[in-house]
Structures are given as C-alpha cells and as structure tokens.
Amino acid sequence: MLDHILSILIFFPALAAVFGFMIQKESMRAYGVSVAAIEFGLALWLWYVFDGNVSGMQFMENFPLVPSFGINYILGVDGISVFIIILSAFFTLLGIGSLTDTPKVKYMIITLLFLQMTMVGVFAALDAIVFYIFWELSLVPMLYIIGAWGGPLRIYASIKFFLYTFAGSLVMLVGMLFMAYFYYQATGAWSFALLDWYRLILPESFQLWLFAAFFLGFAIKVPMFPFHTWLPYAHGQAPTIGSVILAAILLKMGTYAFVRFSLPLFPDASAFFMIPIAVLAIIMVIYTAMVAYAQKDIKQVVAYSSISHMGIIILGTFALNVEGISGSIFLMLGHGVVAGALFLLVGVIYDRRHTKLMSEFGGLAHVMPRYAAIFGIMMMASVGMPLTINFVGEFLSLLGFYQQSHILTLLAGTGIIVGAIYMLAAYKKAFFGEVTNEKNKDLPDVNKKELFGLIPLVIVAIWLGVYPKPVLEPINNSVKSIVQLMHNKSTTELAKERIPNLIKEKVIVIKKTVIEEEVR
C-alpha cells in the first residue's frame, strides 16, 4: 500500500465522490467529513512515513501512459510537496466540516472531493503532462463552486477565472512541448518526466523564452500583478468554502510550480528575471495592500491582503537561495492556514448577517467575544507577528532576498507595515467601539461547527509559529538540493553569482579535517 500511497491519496477522494452520488442528501455531510477525515489521516500517515532527512523524491510511482510520446504517470513527493498535500487534505476536511447546510450541500461535497483529487494530483505529479492534466482539471470543480453557489456576479467571476487561467496554461503547455522536444533532440527519446528535464542544460536564449511561457501560466494562477484581476472577482463572488480553498490551496499551485518547474529548469533565466519579477512582486505587495486599505467589504480586504502576501512568497522564491525558497514554501503553508482561516471567519459573520460591509459592523467584540478573539489571533498571524506561523515564512523570505538586494527588501518590508495598518484598521472598524447597528445586538457567537473549522487552524498557526522545525527541516533539505541543482546547471556569470553553491561551503568545512583528498 505504501508503494501506491500517492495514487491512493489522489484517487480515493475522486472515487468517494463518484459513490457520493448514491448517498441520501441528509447523510451527505457525514459521508463527506468521513471521507475527508480518512484522506487527512492518509496524508498524516504520509508525513509519518516520510523521511525528512532525504532530499530527493520519495514514494515514486511510475506507470507508462503514452510511452511512445514520453508521457508517463509519475508521482513522487519531496519535503516541499508533502506539506502542501497535507495542507490540502487539512483544508478539505475543515471546509467540508464547517459547511453550512445549503440545499445543494450534496453536490458541493462531491465537487470538493473532485477538487481534492486535482489538488493532490498537482502536488504529487512529476510528469509535466500529468501535472498539466490535474492543473487544468482543477479549474472545472472551482468553476462550478463559484458559478453555482456564488454571489450575484458569480457567472462573470467564474468565467473570468476559468478563461484567464485556461489561456495562461495553454501557453505553458506549448512551453512544455518545447521542453520535451529539446529533450528529444538531446537524447533521441521523448520525455515529459520532470526528473529527466532536470538533467537538461539549455542555452540561456532558450531558457528566457521557455521561462516566459511557463511564467505566464504560473503567474496568472498565483496571481501576480498585473495578472491578478480575476482574483478579487473570484473571491468576491465565491462562497466561503470556495474562497477558502482558492486562497489556501489553489493559489499555491502557482507558487509551487515556480519552485518545481521554473527555478530548476531555467536557472539562468531565473537569475536573469530575478529583479523584474521581484519588482512585480513588490508592486503586488504594496499596491494590493493599499487597495486592501481602501476596501469597504471585509472579504475584499482579506482577498487583497492575500494577494499581497503572495507577493512575499514570490519574492522569497526568487531570492534563489535556501533561506528565501524555504521561507517562501513555509509561507505558502502559513498563508494557506491564515488566509483560509480569515475567509472562514468572514464566512461566519456573512452567514449571520448576509453582508460583508464593514460599515455594517462595529463593536462585534462585545457581542461575539470568542469570534473576536480568534479573528484577532489570525489577524496577528496574517500581519506576521512573531511566534505566529507567518512570521517564520516572511522573515525567511525577506532574509533570503536581503542577500540579493537590500533596497528591494526594504520596499517589500514597507508592504508588511501597510499590511499591519489595514488589518488593524479593519479590525478596529468591525470589532471595537460601541455596537452601533441594532441588528448586531444579539448575534450568536461562533458555534461548535464553526469552531471545528477554526480551532485547529489557530492551533497550527501558533504551533508552527513557535516550533517550525518539524516542517521547516524537510523543506530545507529538499530546497537545498534544488538550489544546488540550479547552481550546477547555471551557465551564465549572473546566475553563478546569484545562485549560491552549497557544496562549496561543505568543501571548506571538510578541508579543515584530514580527509581532504578523499573528497576530491
């Protein structure tokens, strides 16, 4: 079973979803929660059996799909993907668990389970085409979640979401076909396997174009400025669960793909584009933070703040060193937990009042103390308070990029300050002061079902903020091997300068000891 644990993780929810059609509406929630719980248990088991000291891929599966064209069903996880898979199982469980009873809850759960298949698939795939299949397939359930359960503009939002990402990824597909073709030219055999591609050293001019093709696909998904325009709509119109999954997991596909594809495949291009991308990322951080400040709708505040934090993730990724990349991956997890929690929290008051305008609220801390406390903690985590999960990631990301450019890092740092400002301002508007609106006088505090979704997130946010080691170390190990690979593959001076050589340090250490010759 261990040999196929990744396939099981991918297809178990899909199979369960198919069976779900046969289940009575009333028992659907119980079914959904149990399936998601089993899936989460499997994911935890994966963590348990995962060897954090190994930097390479584990639990690899390989099955020929279209061998004559080099397409194989290859799966595998390393320290980077394993935690994102756990995160997606975690959020699917929380999401289904805290679903409010809508009339269509049955189809919602089925859709979510299908979505889970695609999410795990994206993070476990090691073949470009298999990756692409899950990547594209994830659009369909999300389209349905936004389009069928969203707000008044839901159809516009869902189509915009679909078409943007669909168009971007088609360009990426052309890039993938080029990669396979270059591999074919170099070796005489077609291959879409990522590990095969890693061995390919491309001239810089090719890298730049291919990087651009992949970049378009990933940047729209992240979404990076200026490709971000679909996201506020998607968040604004999506139901709570849709926003949660979107922010917590789906956006991570883009940043994850940068680490998995762009960096190791095109180290020279990554170094070449480092500064322009960093500038875009900083615009993303500052501009969206400012936009967030101007929002009247609390969900939009969270949505824009979410884009803003994605900017830090991009910045960390393109620091091209171990601190930056590890930090950005840790921040992906942190952002998932925090943004997911914030969207869940917004959902809580939306369920009670059917409005998300901050002007409608005020003094909620008096009426809903527990809610206010949880919101407060998550908000602190969001602005990156030390001892919360986001601090670790943000700190490492900025530390990593500090080694590349002091000024740009400083600029990005201001974005975090603006972040603190708008978050505190929003919190003040909604929670402090007198209860001005009569309708808010006797709002019930968070109930058990909602706590089921929120408490674990609070625990994780603080636990990993205080003690990030069990997660950070496996990530670090895998990132090290990626950075080393990038250094070894890089051909230009610029790249050699920007991407650190990790082995070098080791050689120095060893030099001081006796076994110098052996190493050489």
Partner 1 sequence: MLSPINVSMESLNLMTLAPMLIPVVGALLILVIDIVKGGLHKSLYVVLSLLFLAMDFAAVADASGIFMQDGTILGVFDVMLVDGLAILAQFIIVGASMLFIPLALTHKRFHEFSYPEFFALFLFMIAGFQFMVATDNLILVFVGLETSSLALYTLIAMHNREKSFEAAVKYFTMGALAAGFFSFGAMVFYALTGSVEINKIALVLAANGYADIGFVLVGVAFFLAAFGFKLSLVPFHTWAPDVYEGSSAAMAGYMSIVPKIAAFVVAMRFFEFLVHSDIVWLDIVLYAFVVITMTASNMWALVQTDVKRMLAYSSISHAGFVMAAILIGTTQANSALFLYWILFSFTNLGSFSMLWMSRQKHLAAHQSSDHSYDKFAGMIKTAPVAALIMGLFMLSLAGVPPFALFWGKLYMISSAVTNGYTILALIMALNSAIAGYYYLKLIVYMFMKEPVIDAKSGQVYVSNATLALKTIIGIAAIGTIFAFIAINPLLEFVTAFVYHSGY
Which one among 25, 27, 34, 67 touches partner 1, defined by CB under 8 A? 67
Tell me the closest approach of the beta carbon of residue 301 to partner 1, in angstroms: 27
Q: Give 116's contacts (C-beta < 8 A, 6+ positions apart).
A: 13, 14, 36, 39, 88, 89, 92
Tell me the closest approach of the beta carbon of residue 163 to partner 1, in angstroms: 6
Q: Give 469's contacts (C-beta < 8 A, 6+ positions apart).
A: none
Tell me the closest approach of the beta carbon of residue 137 to partner 1, in angstroms: 7
Between 136 and 445, whose beta carbon lies closer to partner 1?
136
Among the residue ranges 77-85, 169-177, 346-354, 404-412, the one whose residues contact partner 1 (CB under 8 A): 169-177
CA pair distance 216, 168, nearest whole angstrom? 5
If one asks whether residue 214 binds partner 1 (CB under 8 A), the answer comes out as no
Which one among 11, 178, 198, 293 touches partner 1, defined by CB under 8 A? 178
Residue 72, token pair as written in the block: 């194989």
Q: How far is CA 216 from the centre of its chain?
A: 17
Burial class (CB in 10 A: 0-12, 13-18, 19+), 27: exposed
Beta strands in 30-153 (DSSP E): 58-66, 71-77
Among the residue ranges 157-165, 296-304, 418-426, 453-461, the one whose residues contact partner 1 (CB under 8 A): 157-165
If one asks whether residue 15 binds partner 1 (CB under 8 A), the answer comes out as no
- Applying CB under 8 A, what is the total number of residues that bind partner 1? 34
If one asks whether residue 230 binds partner 1 (CB under 8 A), the answer comes out as no
Q: Write out the DSSP string of 350-412.
A: HHHHS--BGGG---HHHH-HHHHHHHHHHHHHHTT-TTSHHHHHHHHHHHHHHTT-HHHHHHH
Between 28 and 286, whose beta carbon lies closer to partner 1?
28
If one asks whether residue 401 binds partner 1 (CB under 8 A), the answer comes out as no
Neighbour tally for 519: CB within 10 Å:
11
Q: Give 385's contacts (C-beta < 8 A, 6+ positions apart).
A: 391
Among the residue ranges 59-67, 443-451, 463-471, 494-502, the one whose residues contact partner 1 (CB under 8 A): 59-67
Among the residue ranges 158-166, 264-272, 416-424, 470-478, the one whose residues contact partner 1 (CB under 8 A): 158-166
Ramachandran region, residue 361 (left: φ > 0; alpha: ψ -120 to 50; beta: rest):
beta
If one asks whether residue 215 binds partner 1 (CB under 8 A), the answer comes out as no
Per-residue binding letters, 184-213, with partner 1 (x by CB under 8 A): x-----------------------------
Give the SS3 label for residue 99: coil
Which one among 15, 65, 279, 399 touches partner 1, defined by CB under 8 A? 65
Give the SS3 label for residue 95: helix
Beta bridge partners of 74: 62
Tell me the closest approach of the beta carbon of residue 154 to partner 1, in angstroms: 7
If one asks whether residue 24 binds partner 1 (CB under 8 A), the answer comes out as no
3-state secondary structure 24-50: CHHHHHHHHHHHHHHHHHHHHHHHHHC
The footprint of partner 1 (CB under 8 A) covers 64-69, 129, 132-133, 136-137, 139-140, 143-144, 147-148, 154-155, 158-159, 162-163, 166-167, 170-171, 173-174, 177-178, 180-181, 184
